[in-house]
Each structure stands twice: as C-alpha cells, then as structure tokens.
Amino acid sequence: MTTQEQPTGLRNYLNGRTVSILFLGFSSGLPLYTLIYLMQAWLAKSGLNVKALGLFALVTFPYTFKFLWAPFMDRYAIGSLGRRRGWMALTQLALFLVIGGLGMLDPKQELTLIAGTVFLIAFLSASQDVVIDAYRREILAENEQGLGAAIIVNAYKAASLIPSALGLVLADSMSWQAVFWIVAAFMLPGFVCTLLAKEPAVYGSPPKNLQEAVVLPFREFVQRDGWKQALLIIAFVLLYKIGDSMATALSTKFFLDIGFTTKQIGLAANATGWWAALAGGAVAGIWMIKLGINRALWVFGVMQALAILGFAWLARTGPDPLLLSAVFGFEAFASPGLGAAALVAFMSRATDPRYTATQYALFSSLAAVPRTFINSSVGYIVAETGWFGFFIVCFILAFPAMMMLPKIAPWNTRNEQA
C-alpha cells in the first residue's frame, strides 16, 4: 500500500490498515505506561521518596535520543519479515521478556539493576516506536493521516489502562512478579498483528548506506523551508505538550499522597479512562476531518490545558473518588484523545515519505524531552510548591506553544499538505 489518495470517510477505521495501527499503537504505549504507572507504584510502595521517583525519569532518555539510531533501522532489515515488520517483531518479543523480568527484581536490594532494566525497556520501547511510526506513515494514504494519528494516539493511551487499572487492581491481591508478567503478556497481541500485517511498499528506494540514511533526512528538513521555519517547528513540537506531560509525570504518586489506595486508582482509571479514550479517539478523528489539522491544534491544545486544572482541583478537595474518576476521564479525553492526536498528525504531515523513520523519530524525540529531562525535576518542584502550586505551573506552561500557532498552523489555512 502506498500513500496514494484513497476515499475519505469513517469506514477508514474498519480497513485492514487502520486495524493494524490500532493494535500496534497499543503495543507502542504499553511499555512506557508500565514505567510511568506500574513501576512508579511498585517503587513507591517499596519506600522510594518523591525526589528519587522523579529522577527515575532520567533512565528513560532513549525516548529523547531515538533519532540517533533511527537511520540504522531505516537502512537495514531484520529477517524475512521486511524492513518494518522485522524490527517490530524483534522489539515486541524482547519487551515481553524484559517487562516480565523487571517484576522479579527486589527494589530494596537491586535498585541499580532495576535502573538498568528500566533503561533497557525504554531503549526497546523507543526503538519499537521508531519503526511503528514509520510503518503508520507509509501504510496510510495522505488523507488517512489524521484518522491514523487519532487511532494510534488513543490506542497508545488506552494501553495505559493495563498497568494503571488492571495492574494496580491486581497488585492489591497478587504478587508484583505475577502482575508484571500479566502486564507483559499484553505485548503479544501486537506481536501477532506484526506477523499478520502487510509490509508497506517502499517509497522510492531505501538508503543505500548509512551516510544517506543519516545526512539526507536532516538536510531535506532544513532546506524545505529554511532554518528559521525548521527551528520554529522544533520549538513547537518540544513545547506543545510540556504542561500536560509534567502534570501527569507523578500522577500515581500524587493520588497516593492525597489518600487514595492503589485499588481506588485502578478502579477509577478503569471506570472512566477507557471510555474517555475511546470517545477522544472518535472525536479527534471526526474533528480533524472537519476542522483540518491546523485548527485541531488550536482547539485541542486549549482543551488539554484545561485538563491540567482538574488535577489542581483534586489537590484542593482531597480523596474524592467521584472527582478522581472525572479527572481521569477528562484527561484521557482531552490530552491523548485530542491534543496528542493533533500533534502526531502534524508531525506525520511534516515528514518526507522518503525519510519517514528518521524524520519522525526526530520530531517524536523532541516531544519526549519534557517527559525525560524536565519531568525528572518534577519531584523537586512538588517538594517546593506543593501539589496545587505545581499543577498551576503546569497549566501556565501549556500556553507558550499555543502562541506559535499563527506561524506554525494558521487558523485560516486549511491546506493539510506538508
């Protein structure tokens, strides 16, 4: 399948391409959210303080630097499955084994080994993201990119319900070792999907050597509209989700601190997060068809900023289970359901199909910078400001990127081509 124009319509949700994107998006999100939610609860229960938990974000820096080895994955194929499916199968199978093995370690005796294992999970997960993002860009038609972005982003977020809902509920009555293996098993549907999916057709010819794979993608991006526009795009991608990313960085620790149990957190996520993510995915896809990617960035950006205020409200009221469900629901709807879908569609549109893996890896690496480096300081900010003040800071940080939109994605411009 090439990126030739195909009929646009909601039936695109039901074709083989978008169904494969649904499963692969879930597989892409599961490792990261296992580190954010399940690992965080596991280490918090073992006695780590909020500053140490925040610093654990630093071992996930492969998400920020994955563009460094993306050209290697663009250049070489693995086995007989093809350039995209071969790398997907390898990383998915490895993630199943390493995530399951993480829970068998002892947080009180083997913290250094845990940090190394977390780094390995982050490296494998970032590598899987590189090839899945390239696969999505190449397998979908140009007019399916907005729908594809909505599907993969919300499948990615829906994966968070396995460690944050199912995993935390099971941890109330099962050993952590069993819980980690159960969560790891949810990597296997994506692995099966990879084996059954079709390899996308090659756009042009793959890089003949590593020099072509490394140099040409960056040269094309800079020369397309000049250095000034290239730097503006980079700054926008870096900042668009910084407020939301910081607000959710230690959300499990926040919920535990104000008095919720792991079971209450898991049940609230399960009661509202799943349905809100599905609703966000449907709304994002439909709205991007009607609004276009440019206007979606404006509307969805405002809504994801408002979602941060829900955490501030909860910090003021204390452990209210109904409000917890509402906060989970609106955040799942507004941030991954809307804001992240628009950003992914924007980044996909900005890539040249000849250099999909490398250019998209650069954009998504930039988007991961707040989660990896800035989020590592979250514990120190909370220690100084308290939870309420921290969420207000996050809300304010949501708006610098919005101020760039007139230059990046003008409201009255509906041209969806890069």
Question: Which H or E element spans position 411?
Answer: none
- Which 8-state DSSP code applies to residue 82? -
Residue 371 one-letter amino acid:
R
pTM for the whole thing? 0.72
In b/e form, how buried is each residue of 326-363, taking b as 16+ CB within 10 angstroms?
bbbbbbbbbbbbbbbbbbbbbbbbbbbbbbbbbbbbbb
Look at residue 336 in the predicted model and tell me its pLDDT.
Answer: 66
List the domains of the chain with CATH numbers.
Answer: 10-408 (1.20.1250.20)
Contact 351, 237 (CB under 8 A): no
Owner of token pair 């970032």: 126
So what's the pLDDT on residue 372?
65
Residue 209 burial (CB count, 10 A): 8
pLDDT tens, position by position, for the chain (418 residues)?
344 444 444 554 467 788 899 999 999 999 999 998 898 888 888 877 766 776 676 777 888 788 888 888 888 888 888 889 999 999 999 999 999 999 999 888 888 898 899 999 999 999 999 999 999 988 887 777 777 888 887 788 788 889 988 998 898 889 999 999 999 999 999 999 999 998 887 665 666 666 777 788 888 888 888 888 999 999 999 899 889 888 888 888 899 899 888 888 878 776 677 678 778 777 887 788 778 888 989 999 999 999 999 999 999 998 888 899 888 889 878 876 788 888 888 998 888 877 888 888 888 888 877 766 676 778 888 989 999 999 999 999 999 999 999 998 898 875 444 3
Q: What is the pLDDT of residue 80?
A: 85
Residue 29: its pLDDT value, please?
93
Burial class for 301, CB neighbours closer than 10 Å (0-12, 13-18, 19+): buried
- What is the rounded distance in angstroms from the CA atom of residue 18 to the CA atom of residue 12? 7
CA dist., res. 197 & res. 23, Å (int): 10
At 320, give phi and psi (nearest 5°).
-100, 110
> From CA 418, how far away is CA 401, in angstroms rounded?
19
| Residues 390, 308 contacting (CB under 8 angstroms) | no
**What dihedral do alpha carbons 401, 406, 408, 410 form, nearest 10°?**
130
Per-residue burial over 160-189, b if 16 or more Cβ lie within 10 Å, else e, is bbbbbbbbbbbbeeeebeebbbbbbebbee
In 3D, which of 375, 283, 369 has the Cα closest to residue 334? 283
